[in-house]
A and B are shown apart, each in its own frame.
Chain A
Amino acid sequence: MELTGAQMVWECLIREGVDVVFGYPGGSIIDTYDAMIDYPIRHVLVRHEQGAAHAADGYARSTGKVGVCIATSGPGATNLVTGIATAYMDSVPMVAITGQVSTAVLGRDGFQETDITGITLPITKHNFLVSEISELPQAFIEAFHIARTGRPGPVLIDLPRNVAMSKAEFSYPDKVDLPGYRPTQRGNVRQLRMAAELLNAAARPLIIAGGGVNRAGAFEALAALAEKYRAPVAMTLLGIGGFPQSHPRSLGFMGMHGAASANMAVDKADLVLAVGMRFSDRVTGKASAWAPNAKIVHIDVDPAEVGKNVAPTVPIVGDANLVLQQLLPLVQPCEFEPWWSLIDEWRQEERSRDILKHETEELLPPFVVSRISALTEGQAMMVSDVGQNQMWEAQYYSHDLPRSLCTSGGLGTMGYGIPAAMGVQVGNPDKQVWMVAGDGGTQMTLNQWGTIAQEKLPIKMAILNNGYLGMVRQWQQMFFSSRYAATPIGSPDFVRLAEAYGIPGLIVTTREEVDDAIRAAIAHPGPFIIEFRVKGEENVYPMVPAGQTVREMIRRPLPSERCLPEEAK
């Protein structure tokens, strides 16, 4: 059958199992949009293309499927860039389709021409400029294959307008032809045996789950290993959701703002089993002093991650799910008794410092997040923005569901929250989706409320309004003598603004109102916002300052310690 390039786009997407795309039309992509009407694919019209990329990202992270976004050439394509870079840093499977000027004007600065394949070269796993209609089906099958296999990532397809308009016979290839791309699946048996020997000889082991556990869907394999081996499991920010927070073996979230007990466990461990992680500086602090007493077994699907930041004793290249399954029978159960007692001591001490244990009348963000966690019973799909809100969400929401947190880790993209939540809700129509963001990040992308209202996405949005770009303010307070340069930020009346979009909301200023507001949001069938006017100058603790070690970790002062400086004044 003869089809236009524009029709082929949708034929290909359907064959790849796509039923929803996030996008925004324009001149160079108009033919593709015209063809779309005839295909059973849902299109979600965003309010800015950055949101299309974040929505595709949220869809992908929360479902494990490839997210698809589409935009026109020039400004449409460049608006995608932040979202593509966000997905690249966090290894999110995504295909971005951009319109391009016709090949006849390509390279001559045509109207709305940008070299988007050039621009996205370092932030995509691969990209394609389809210069002939005959290359189109192959580009699509390869794009999806590359995006979802191995270490997942975004792939961009740039489609010149004349290619979309031209006609050719269509047949979808049955296989990819990528001689240079063969990701390793199963772990090497010798490496596995060496790893098992180390695990079986360890006295103070620690498993760390990275984002790879979520990407590979290694939830059961990891739980089985932790239960058999009886070792504690800590999670990186992107590893959250990879292992149930309420599991007795869970130490929670580790890294710069991770649990002190989890970071201390890294420091004292004699063996670290790192699963699907890349030893980012936010995880390790000073990499050379990280886990100083430990032998390291590193499982990762990307061979280039082995030894990039931290040199492992035993690397195993392969899919986290398969490798953990291979490792399971080789590992012997152990009690690790003195180790668990030590960990319990740390946890007890940690609890005594927990802000939630302190008497206070103030409306504190950790309290808000812990109430959302309690009232949704840890069963919500969570999305967080970037900043203090993100860290509090990670610390105080008890994530028990696989893939239940979408957050921008590697790039730390403010404004990710609202649009990513759209993708999560679209991908999980029957689940409750909550988004937690700051007043700053909310203002970056709240134009997407238009999309949320139009698509009737029942997302619950909690804005932690502290009147500051809080995370930067915290650094200024701690490391720049409280010189608050450009961090106090004003906000509109969020509830009235949401109302203008047809989204109801509530303002919460006291602790007493918190539960009722959260219940009201849950009870409301559509989208809902709650603006929590929280304490302004609250800090995220603990904190391992950038490039330092656990020994320099800044802890939350105990109530007795807190009084001292006040009295001294």
Chain B
Amino acid sequence: MRHTIVALMEDRPGVLNRVASLFRRRGFNIDSLAVGHSEAEGISRMTVVVQGDDKTLEQVAKQLHKLVNVTKVFDLNGSSVSRELALVKVHATPANRSEVIGLASIFRANIVDVSSDSLIVEITGTEDKIESLLELLRPYGVQELTRTGVVALARG
């Protein structure tokens, strides 16, 4: 079972290292991790997607909470909005360039760079949406891919 856990933490040197070290030491499997500023000054917000049963998940949350610099931990599995951004460099020649652009536009993805033999596609959405586009782009040749990891907010 996959869960999205959010941790708020003081924005200080070494805090991310503490979190990463904890995941490794306790053997938690993480699918993705994204950190950035939150609405509060000096507080970073980390979104982690973890695999595991309820017991593992409870341990992840509790162990995170034990870190002195972590101020709040919650599970975002109820009603929430989650998004990820990916940049994909796809092989595209003048001959098939418009096909690739066509696919991207179906997904409301942007073309952010064009060169003679490749395109960079920027897509934002749920992980599923990104996966689907990638699936379609692969036959053309995905040269490079970078994903931000999921970020999420509870609705309402």
| Chain A residues close to B by CB (< 8 Å) | 117-118, 121-122, 125-126, 129, 146, 178-181, 302-304, 306-308
Per-residue CB contact flags for chain B residues 26-67 toward chain A (1 = under 8 Å, else 0) read 000000000000000000000000000001001100110111
List, in ascending order, chain A residues with CB within 8 A of B69's CB: 180
Q: Whose C-beta in chain B lies nearest to the C-beta of A182?
A: B71
Using A117-B14, A121-B18, A121-B21 as known contacts, say yes or no to A126 and B63 having CB atoms under 8 A apart.
no
* Secondary structure dominating the interface of B: helix
Q: B17's contact among A121, A146, A302, A304, by CB below 8 Å, is which?
A: A121
- On whether the beta carbons of B63 and A304 are closer than 8 Å, the reply is yes
Using A117-B14, A121-B18, A121-B21 as known contacts, say yes or no to A307 and B58 having CB atoms under 8 A apart.
yes
- On whether the beta carbons of A303 and B62 are closer than 8 Å, the reply is yes
List, in ascending order, chain A residues with CB within 8 A of B21's CB: 121-122
- Beyond A122-B25, A179-B71, 15 extra complex contacts between A and B, CB < 8 Å: A121-B17, A121-B18, A121-B21, A122-B21, A122-B22, A125-B68, A178-B68, A179-B10, A180-B9, A180-B65, A180-B67, A180-B68, A180-B72, A304-B65, A306-B62
List, in ascending order, chain A residues with CB within 8 A of B10's CB: 179-180
Q: A118's contact among B17, B25, B62, B68, by CB below 8 Å, is which?
A: B17
Is the CB of B70 closer than 8 A to any CB of chain A? yes
Using A121-B21, A122-B25 as known contacts, say yes or no to A304 and B66 having CB atoms under 8 A apart.
yes
Nearest CB in chain A: distance from B19 CB, A = 11
Q: B14's contact among A129, A178, A180, A302, by CB below 8 Å, is which?
A: A129
- Give 16 A-B contacts (CB < 8 Å), ordered by A residue: A121-B17, A122-B21, A122-B25, A129-B13, A178-B68, A179-B10, A180-B10, A180-B68, A180-B69, A181-B68, A303-B62, A304-B59, A304-B63, A306-B62, A307-B55, A307-B59
List, in ascending order, chain A residues with CB within 8 A of B22's CB: 122
- On whether the beta carbons of A304 and B62 are closer than 8 Å, the reply is yes
List, in ascending order, chain B residues with CB within 8 A of A146's CB: 68
List, in ascending order, chain B residues with CB within 8 A of A179's CB: 10, 71
Measured CA separation A440–B77 after assembly (Å)? 54
List, in ascending order, chain A residues with CB within 8 A of B14's CB: 117, 129
Measured CA separation A303–B61 after assembly (Å)? 10
Nearest CB in chain B: distance from A340 CB, A = 36
List, in ascending order, chain A residues with CB within 8 A of B72's CB: 180
- On whether the beta carbons of B66 and A302 are closer than 8 Å, the reply is yes
Measured CA separation A70–B68 after assembly (Å)? 23
List, in ascending order, chain A residues with CB within 8 A of B13's CB: 129
Nearest CB in chain B: distance from A123 CB, A = 10
Nearest CB in chain B: distance from A479 CB, A = 27
Using A118-B17, A121-B21, A307-B55 as known contacts, say yes or no to A180 and B62 having CB atoms under 8 A apart.
no
List, in ascending order, chain A residues with CB within 8 A of B66's CB: 302, 304
Measured CA separation A117–B21 after assembly (Å)? 12
Q: Whose C-beta in chain A lies nearest to the C-beta of B7?
A: A180
| Chain B residues close to A by CB (< 8 Å) | 9-10, 13-14, 17-18, 21-22, 25, 55, 58-59, 62-63, 65-72
- On whether the beta carbons of B68 and A308 are closer than 8 Å, the reply is no
Using A118-B17, A179-B10 as known contacts, say yes or no to A303 and B59 having CB atoms under 8 A apart.
no
Nearest CB in chain B: distance from A436 CB, A = 33
Measured CA separation A424–B3 after assembly (Å)? 47
List, in ascending order, chain B residues with CB within 8 A of A304's CB: 59, 62-63, 65-66
List, in ascending order, chain B residues with CB within 8 A of A178's CB: 68
Q: Whose C-beta in chain B lies nearest to the C-beta of A308?
A: B59
- On whether the beta carbons of A180 and B59 are closer than 8 Å, the reply is no
Measured CA separation A179–B43 after assembly (Å)? 11
Measured CA separation A69–B150 after assembly (Å)? 43
- On whether the beta carbons of A180 and B70 are closer than 8 Å, the reply is yes
Nearest CB in chain A: distance from B42 CB, A = 10
Nearest CB in chain B: distance from A156 CB, A = 12
Q: Whose C-beta in chain A lies nearest to the C-beta of B8?
A: A180
List, in ascending order, chain A residues with CB within 8 A of B62's CB: 303-304, 306
Q: Whose C-beta in chain B lies nearest to the C-beta of A305?
A: B62
Which 4 A-B pairs have CB atoms at the shortest separation, nearest pair first?
Answer: A304-B62, A180-B71, A126-B68, A181-B68
Nearest CB in chain B: distance from A132 CB, A = 12
Measured CA separation A122–B71 after assembly (Å)? 19
Nearest CB in chain A: distance from B87 CB, A = 31
Nearest CB in chain A: distance from B64 CB, A = 9
Measured CA separation A117–B14 after assembly (Å)? 9
List, in ascending order, chain B residues with CB within 8 A of A302's CB: 66
Q: Whose C-beta in chain B lies nearest to the C-beta of A183?
A: B66
Nearest CB in chain A: distance from B13 CB, A = 8
Nearest CB in chain B: distance from A140 CB, A = 15
Measured CA separation A59–B115 after assembly (Å)? 69
Measured CA separation A304–B58 after assembly (Å)? 8
Nearest CB in chain A: distance from B2 CB, A = 21
Measured CA separation A146–B69 after assembly (Å)? 12
List, in ascending order, chain B residues with CB within 8 A of A180's CB: 9-10, 65, 67-72
Using A117-B14, A179-B10, A308-B59 as known contacts, say yes or no to A303 and B65 having CB atoms under 8 A apart.
yes
Nearest CB in chain B: distance from A260 CB, A = 32
Q: Whose C-beta in chain B lies nearest to the C-beta of A151?
A: B66
Q: Whose C-beta in chain A lies nearest to the C-beta of B24?
A: A122
Nearest CB in chain A: distance from B52 CB, A = 14
Measured CA separation A303–B73 after assembly (Å)? 13
Measured CA separation A122–B19 after assembly (Å)? 10
List, in ascending order, chain B residues with CB within 8 A of A181's CB: 68
Measured CA separation A179–B10 after assembly (Å)? 9
List, in ascending order, chain B residues with CB within 8 A of A307's CB: 55, 58-59
Measured CA separation A117–B58 after assembly (Å)? 27
List, in ascending order, chain B residues with CB within 8 A of A121's CB: 17-18, 21
List, in ascending order, chain A residues with CB within 8 A of B25's CB: 122
Q: Whose C-beta in chain B lies nearest to the C-beta of A126?
A: B68
Q: Which of B10, B13, B22, B68 has the most CB of A within 10 A?
A: B68
Measured CA separation A125–B68 after assembly (Å)? 8
Q: Whose C-beta in chain B lies nearest to the C-beta of A118?
A: B17
Nearest CB in chain A: distance from B75 CB, A = 15
Measured CA separation A484–B65 after assembly (Å)? 46
List, in ascending order, chain A residues with CB within 8 A of B17's CB: 118, 121
